[in-house]
Amino acid sequence: MKRPASPQMQLIDSHCHLDDDRFDALRVEVIAEAAQIGVTRMIVPATTANRWEKIKQLCDTEEGLYPAYGLHPMFVEQHQASHLRELDEWLGREAAVAVGECGLDFYASRVDEKWQKCVFLEQVALADNHRLPVIVHVRKAMDEVISLLRRQGRHGGVIHSFAGSEQQARQLYDLGFKLGIAATVGFERARKLRAVVACMPLDALLLESDAPDQPGSAHRGQLNRPAYIVEHLQTIAELRQMDVAELAAALTRNTEALFDL
């Protein structure tokens, strides 16, 4: 594990599935561990409609946790048209900092492409109606996502675990989107991502864990934890040749501004 953040640093994990059932026996420990090294706030995005209530209860109970509600493209076979109507109603009565996790995922196939795009665009429209940013998941669909967002006229959100090119990053930045940087940035072979992180405007970047997934090379085979974002922080600081504390403060400001914390 790389040098931890200073206790004076206050970090935000902009994408953490703390509601995941794999955390049920560990959640108190995981939250306390994160707080000890300065990760005191976390955004908790949803994946399916049946997770919304658990996320609501978790965020109502634990200080520093903020909910986002949406329908994840990897679970597209579970989503129904009625869930979009329910999401609209849910957002109308429950506090949320974003709509998501939503987006497109064509990693396995494009069998459900039409339905995926429909569910995604409906959620983008709901985010506009409720004046919320969107948390966007993208795999093997970056150009399609950029095209849909541009056509929709959507400005404001984050591309979760960004893995695109510099050109795509700048197109998204021009649309008002930030780039969520996860453990992938720590891999030497991720040259494209590391170049993007080094050259993009600082206000384009957010720090995220995607816990319990994407644990990074130092924790391979383990459950990822929000505390591990201090490792990404150190890597980004090295790539940008910045002071770690200065970088931490800037990334925290970026997250606060996007999610209105």
The total domain count for the chain is 1
- Asked, as a colleague might, if the bond just before 101 is cis with ω within 30 of 0, I would say yes
Residue 4 counted as domain residue: no
Q: What is the average pLDDT value for the chain, to the nearest integer?
A: 93
Q: Mind listing the pLDDT tens digit for each residue in 32-46?
A: 999 999 999 999 999
Question: What would the pLDDT profile of 165-215 be if each residue is shown by its tens digit?
Answer: 999 999 999 999 999 999 999 998 999 999 999 999 999 999 999 999 988
Whether 139 is in a domain gets the answer: yes
**Has residue 118 been placed in a domain?**
yes
Tell me which residue of 72, 51, 235 sits closest to 139, measured CA to CA.
Answer: 72
Q: Is residue 183 part of a domain?
A: yes
pLDDT of res. 5: 47
Say if 174 falls within a structural domain: yes
Whether 6 maps to a domain, the answer reads no
Whether residue 166 has a cis bond before it, omega within 30° of 0: no
**Within a domain: residue 1?**
no
Backbone angles phi, psi at 135, to 5 degrees: -105, 115
The two three-digit tokens of residue 153, written as one number: 């006229």
Q: Which of 160, 85, 96, 180 is nearest to 132 (CA)?
A: 96
Task: Establish how many alpha carbons lie within 13 A of residue 90's alpha carbon, considering only the half-sphere containing its beta carbon.
Answer: 27
The residue segments making up the domain with residue 31 are 11-259
Q: What is the structure's pLDDT at 3?
A: 43
CATH number of the structural domain spanning residue 196: 3.20.20.140
Task: Please report which confidence band the pLDDT of residue 107 belongs to, taking 50, 70 and 90 as the band edges.
Answer: confident
